[in-house]
Amino acid sequence: MSDLNYKKAARVIVKAGLFPFPIMDTMINILKMLITEEELELVMSFKRNPSQTMVQLKQSSKMSEEQIHRLTKTLSKTGLIFNQPSSAGIMVYRLMPLVMVGVFEYTFMNKLEFNEKEKKLARLFTQLFEELRDFIQENYDTIAPYFKTLLPYDRTVPILDKNVSDEEIQISINKEIDVPEEQIIPTQEVEEIIKKFEDIAVGHCFCRHHKDLLGKSCKTTELRENCFTFGKSARYCVEQGFARTISKEEALEILKESEKDGLVHKAFHSGSRIARDETSICNCCKCCCGTLEWWRMGVTAMINSTNFLAKIDKSKCVGCGTCLEKCPVDAIQGDDNNKAECNAELCIGCGVCAHFCPENAISLLEGMRTVFVPPPRLRD
């Protein structure tokens, strides 16, 4: 199969995701490691419709039902096909993108292996992100406005503990912050999210596993298996071997350990619509989280839905710098008097600063808002 056909398939895969990936050799090399020539033909049948039933696939691919079953089964094992029945019980085959959420996440969410194939894939994905950064930066003025059209990638679910009591949470917010009206406010306590699902699975943090394969181990936590999926996504991940089924009790224990290390709870919703149920929760660190890293390196904007904003009581602040160190998005800086100061435009309301503040000087204000920070411009 020629590189030309791989490039055609790559364009189809790119259209299934959010990012305007340029079709370069690195992407082709990744696909060659993951897709056989026969599977490539089925991928190209998703050109006009990324989600299809068996009847539709038979028509678009001109393949037999037996062949489609066989190929979708192997493509699902690579994270390229999401194969789960609809609410009506009809099997739907959905083509997944390379990133957010797709091949990258499922590849490194699998059981921890450090074989040469995984290490090579880790290096290739890093190279791919660097090429995407160069593409974005070279075309910054054209592409940057595109990010403003996107819904939030994720939603922050804050740590609510001893430093953030019910009395401290204010039902108000800085008026300068844009607060959308008539929004359905979803569950804000991560424990409540866990308790409402019957199907829960946990897999390895794909971001940390990716970094481990590159020899850049996490500086924040030793935890690895703390990436949750729910409902249909959980069933898919378990069936494909990306995760294992766990009880609500085990999930809550993992969450407690994640909070001890100051990891940020990020909830993901189907179609990025927060009125819908959560599909997954990541427990993210400052040094490995992909969405934060891609924002810092100029690949994408930071687009986050949150219901909270950190508020610092400077009369209690002693200038210890703990919150500056722990904040995952560098939203807190020191003022002229060495007191902590929060940049509301950056704050994602995760509560990590309040969780670790030894003086109880930080509380949270409540009010639904979207944090949007464009990718930094790295070139003139």
H helix runs in the chain, sequence order: 3-15, 25-34, 37-44, 54-61, 65-77, 103-109, 116-138, 140-147, 190-195, 206-213, 231-239, 248-260, 290-296, 322-326, 352-356
- Each of the 380 residues of the chain gets a pLDDT tens digit; together they read 578 889 999 999 999 988 777 899 999 999 999 999 999 999 999 999 999 999 999 999 999 999 999 999 999 999 999 999 998 999 999 999 999 889 999 999 987 778 899 999 999 999 999 999 999 999 999 999 999 999 999 999 988 654 444 434 333 333 344 433 334 445 568 899 999 999 999 999 999 999 999 999 999 999 999 999 999 999 999 999 999 999 999 999 999 999 999 999 999 998 888 888 999 999 999 999 999 999 999 999 999 999 999 999 999 999 999 999 999 999 999 998 899 999 999 999 999 999 999 999 999 998 888 999 999 998 76
Asked whether 334 and 341 are in contact (CB, 8 A), the reply is yes
CA triple 299-9-290, angle to 5 deg: 25
H helix runs in 78-115, sequence order: 103-109
| Token pair recorded at residue 160 | 């609510």
In terms of phi and psi (left: phi > 0; alpha: psi -120 to 50; beta: otherwise), the region of 361 is alpha
Tokens 């062949």 found at: 67
Nearest to 156 by CA among 303, 296, 261, 255: 303
- d(CA 209, CA 118) in angstroms, rounded, equals 10
**Which domains are seen in the chain, by residue range?**
3-143 (1.10.10.10), 144-373 (no CATH)
pLDDT of residue 181: 37
Asked whether 12 and 43 are in contact (CB, 8 A), the reply is yes
